[in-house]
């Protein structure tokens, strides 16, 4: 249990999975994947990073309900 907890903490603190695998002496990183549980902070950072890369979108219908209905195939 100590080994698994330490490996998970290493991964969640930014140590690459391949390095954790070598530290544990695993022959394959597939074996180490069981320790690769992302923390809440890791998920927040990933979501924050993706928001910055998305350009602002402009609506296609420009507040025209008829055009929106046409684009959705309703008219």
Per-residue model confidence (pLDDT) at position 20: 92
12-69 pLDDT, tens per residue?
A: 888 999 999 999 999 999 988 887 888 888 888 888 776 666 667 776 667 778 877 8
Number of neighbours of residue 71 by Cβ within 10 angstroms: 13
d(CA 53, CA 69): 30
Q: How many CB atoms lie within 10 A of CB 33?
A: 13
Q: Which alpha helices (DSSP H) does the chain contain, by range? A: 2-12, 17-24, 29-32, 40-52, 65-71
């Amino acid at each position: 249990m100590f080994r698994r907890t330490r490996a998970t903490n290493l991964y969640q603190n930014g140590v690459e999975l391949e390095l954790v695998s070598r530290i544990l002496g695993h022959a394959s990183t597939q074996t180490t994947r069981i320790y690769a549980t992302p923390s809440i902070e890791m998920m927040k950072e990933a979501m924050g990073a993706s928001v910055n890369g998305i350009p602002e979108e402009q609506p296609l219908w420009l507040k025209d309900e008829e055009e929106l209905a046409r684009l959705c195939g309703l008219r």
